[in-house]
Amino acid sequence: MAQVGTDAAHVDTDQASEQTDVDSLQGSIGSLQTDISNVNDELSSLQNLGTPPAIATSAALAAGNTAISNAQAAIQWANNQANTIDGQAHQLDTTAQNYETSKGC
């Protein structure tokens, strides 16, 4: 039954790794949001000067915003899955420990 506890600990390690990946992805999302904001500011400056941009940016900005929304949804899904799996692993560990105790192990 000790294996169940070891497995639950591995799930904790995997969840910590998943969180590291999420933190990295959120940093990338933040950078993308900054880039989009900078492009919008520069477009505004060009428009205030009466100069149209040489390249149409609306499709790229829309794609960037969609990518951000999709990434945030994926992060939420991954976190929910990781939390569910971690909770189940610990419930199984507790059940195994209770079984061992009840059998005098």
Per-residue pLDDT, 37 = 96
3-state class (DSSP) for residue 33: helix
- The pLDDT-based confidence of 69 (bands split at 50, 70, 90) is very high
CB atoms within 10 A of CB 5: 16
Count of domains observed in the chain: 1
In the chain, the percentage of residues whose pLDDT exceeds 90 is 50
Distance CA 11, CA 67 (A): 29
Domain that holds residue 59: 2-102
Per-residue pLDDT, 14 = 84
- pLDDT averaged over every residue in the chain: 89
